[in-house]
Amino acid sequence: MDGPENLRVYGLLIRAGRTLIAAERVAELDVLKFPGGGVEADETPEGALVREFQEECSIHVTPVRLLHAPGTLFSPWTHANYTPLYYAVEGAGEPRAPAHEAIELHFMEPRAAITSGRMAEPEILALRRALGDAP
């Protein structure tokens, strides 16, 4: 196999102390995630992140830095392996999900997201790193 298993990229867009959250259903659970998705065979992770933000949020972002690369994990939500990468991103414009995307986008206070019980541990650590609360 070439590359990591099920490589996924997610972007943390923080404005005015609030982070962009994608609320969605995953495996019958209501979860809070960051916008992003799968890296296609011909893409770099950064290129995939730019594409995913266009598709999910209708805005252009620029990856700023890699925040968290936990390696290949087993998802308790989907019961499958995945390899997530979390980036800090910058971008202008008002995020809005196209009608065909089954997500709700909104800016949320980071502590509320972290303590919601709806966010996975890798996302929590990435958010803490974005805030400077974790190494």
- Residue 108: give its domain's CATH number: 3.90.79.10
| 21 falls within a domain | yes
Could you tell me the pTM of the whole model? Answer: 0.94
Q: With a cut of 70, which residues of the chain have pLDDT below it?
A: 1-2, 135
What total of structural domains would you count in the chain? 1
Domain that holds residue 118: 7-131
Question: What pLDDT, on the 0 to 100 scale, is given for residue 2?
Answer: 65
Question: What pLDDT, on the 0 to 100 scale, is given for residue 30?
Answer: 93
Angstrom distance (rounded) from CA 123 to CA 129: 10
